[in-house]
């Protein structure tokens, strides 16, 4: 049989045929398609060949914001596997997925997740200007935290994973310099490092916050050469250089708590050693999440252009993660290319694991792409999740607005602490 005939046969026979491709030189296929038997708990495998052709009489999705891809109609939460590497490298043999805190009437868990290993706590912010966030031009959002030791204790008392529990949330009383917090990382010199969208005429800013009462803050930056930013959104520290990178879309205006924008939507670098701030990337509709690969040579930035706040949604605009090379001299983001396009909602916050897989909050939960940009799986919630954070070895905490979820998996996060 010729190589062409073997390829055709492989396509026709699906998974078994792909494994057979090894004998024509496709050695990498064997590793990728070694699907565990049985599947990991709480998981569903969708062979991409099973939906590659739906046929002319199929019911197609026509709205990526409200129509989700769950052809098996599996009840959430569950792990949706598209590539066996998601099972073998991300989930591991015995994952679990459960709810750990919920308040159906309040979007208390929106963005800015930070894990502080010293106290085993996860910090996060409420929705700023969005539904159930109860924040506006006149009302600030809030920052809260959850203790992971209490989570584990409650799970053990309830009978172990994946039993749902509902843990007490602690709200922080922060100074007025923290207005509409939307992004965070750390620990940064033992502190929380937050970017805030600002509110009304109060400026967006970059601040350090002591995680202990009285939660005193230090404002690091609140303008670009005298001009206010739009509404700062997300932040990461480039650990090799110590520089701070953050995004500045226009969501404060689009969600009704900031004036009309007066500066382009851009990604910035702040050098805390010199105080210098510079633009490193532009050309976005609405730049949002930012993160680095484990070697810190590649930057990822999401563009959530499809989501327009009071302007509504436009599915022809980006719901896209772009990858950039980081110039070793200037640290400008260069060689822009499409990394991935989200099939549901938008890719919001971004985190990476130690293998370079890219996690982003989307319309269905958390989507995961391998370093090549291929979607390998989802933490499927059937609702929008903006962010997630690795909270210690093998623990992924997911922010789903009114609910916090914990996924216990094999994957490990990269170290976000500085120094």
Q: Tokens for 393?
A: 């070895």
Cβ neighbourhood burial of 262 (10 Å; 0-12, 13-18, 19+): exposed
Separation CA 75–CA 1 (nearest Å): 44
- E strands, 232-374, in order: 235-238, 243-248, 266-270, 277-281, 287-292, 298-303, 320-326, 333-341, 350-352, 358-361, 365-369
Q: In Å, how far are 4, 27, 43, 85, 86 from 24, measured between CA atoms? A: 10, 8, 31, 21, 25
Q: Output the six-digit token pair for 283.
A: 């050309």
Predicted local confidence at residue 3, as pLDDT? 36
Q: Where are the domains of the chain?
A: 1-34, 85-408
- Measured at the CA of 216, the angle between CA 213 and CA 222, to 5 degrees, comes to 150
Question: What is the pLDDT at residue 171?
Answer: 98
Residues in the chain: 419
Coil, strand or helix: which one is 149?
helix
Which 8-state DSSP code applies to residue 85? H
CA distance 112 to 100: 18
Q: Which residues contact 363 (CB under 8 A, 6 or more apart)?
A: 64, 65, 68, 342, 344, 345, 346, 384
Q: What would the two tokens of residue 7 be?
A: 């390829």
CATH architecture of the domain 85-408 equals 6 Propeller (2.120)
Supply the pLDDT for residue 34.
Answer: 82
Please state, in angstroms and as integers, the Cα–Cα distance from residue 402 to each residue in 16, 125, 152, 166, 169, following that order. 42, 11, 20, 12, 12
Paired tokens of 177: 């310099």
Task: Check if the beta carbon of residue 231 is closer than 8 Å to that of residue 213.
Answer: no
d(CA 126, CA 103): 12
Q: Please report, for residues 52, 191, 328, 389, 407, the alpha-carbon distance to residue 240 in angstroms, rounded to integers and kept in the order given.
A: 42, 19, 11, 21, 29
How are beta strands 205-209 and 217-221 bridged, if at all? antiparallel
One digit per residue, the tens of pLDDT, for the chain of length 419 reads 443 344 444 444 444 433 433 333 334 444 456 899 999 999 999 999 999 999 999 999 999 999 999 999 999 999 999 999 999 999 999 999 999 999 999 999 999 999 999 999 999 999 999 999 999 999 999 999 999 999 999 999 999 999 999 999 999 999 999 999 999 999 999 999 999 999 999 999 999 999 999 999 999 999 999 999 999 999 999 999 999 999 999 999 999 999 999 999 999 999 999 999 999 999 999 999 999 999 999 999 999 999 999 999 999 999 999 999 999 999 999 999 999 999 999 999 999 999 999 999 999 999 999 999 999 999 999 999 999 999 999 999 999 999 999 999 999 999 999 99
Question: Which token pair is 155?
Answer: 């799970």
């Amino acid at each position: 049989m010729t190589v062409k005939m073997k390829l055709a046969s492989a396509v026709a026979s699906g998974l078994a045929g792909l494994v057979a491709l090894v004998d024509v030189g496709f050695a990498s296929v064997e590793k990728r398609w070694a699907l565990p038997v049985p599947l990991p708990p709480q998981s569903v495998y969708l062979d991409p060949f099973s939906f590659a052709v739906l046929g002319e009489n199929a019911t197609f999705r026509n709205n990526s914001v409200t129509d989700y891809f769950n052809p098996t109609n599996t009840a959430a939460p569950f792990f949706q596997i598209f590539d066996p590497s998601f099972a073998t490298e991300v989930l591991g043999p015995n994952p679990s997925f459960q709810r750990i805190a919920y308040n159906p009437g309040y979007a208390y868990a929106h963005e800015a997740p930070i894990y502080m290993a010293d106290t085993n706590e996860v910090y996060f912010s409420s929705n700023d200007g969005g539904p159930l966030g109860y924040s506006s031009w006149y009302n600030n959002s809030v920052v809260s935290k959850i203790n992971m030791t209490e989570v584990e204790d409650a799970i053990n008392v309830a009978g172990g994973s994946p039993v749902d529990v509902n843990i007490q949330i602690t709200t922080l009383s922060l100074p007025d310099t923290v207005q509409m917090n939307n992004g965070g990382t750390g620990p940064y010199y033992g502190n929380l490092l937050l970017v805030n969208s600002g509110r009304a005429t109060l400026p967006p800013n970059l601040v350090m916050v002591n995680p202990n009462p009285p939660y005193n803050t230090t404002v690091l930056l609140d303008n670009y050469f005298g001009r206010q930013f739009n509404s700062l959104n997300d932040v990461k520290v480039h650990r090799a250089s110590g520089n701070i990178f953050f995004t500045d879309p226009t969501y404060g205006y689009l969600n009704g708590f900031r004036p009309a924008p007066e500066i382009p939507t851009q990604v910035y670098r702040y050098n805390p050693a010199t105080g210098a701030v510079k633009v490193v990337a532009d050309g976005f509709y609405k730049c949002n999440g930012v993160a680095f690969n484990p070697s810190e040579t590649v930057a990822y930035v999401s563009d959530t252009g499809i989501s327009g706040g009071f302007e509504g949604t436009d599915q022809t605009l980006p719901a896209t993660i772009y990858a950039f090379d980081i110039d070793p001299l200037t640290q400008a983001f260069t060689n822009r290319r499409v990394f991935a396009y989200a099939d549901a909602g938008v890719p919001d916050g971004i985190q990476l694991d130690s293998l370079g897989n890219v996690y982003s909050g989307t319309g269905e939960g958390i989507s995961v792409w391998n370093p090549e940009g291929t979607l390998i799986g989802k933490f499927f919630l059937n609702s929008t999740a903006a962010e997630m954070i690795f909270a210690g070895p093998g623990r992924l905490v997911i922010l789903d607005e009114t609910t916090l979820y914990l996924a216990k998996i094999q994957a490990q996060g990269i170290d976000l602490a500085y120094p």
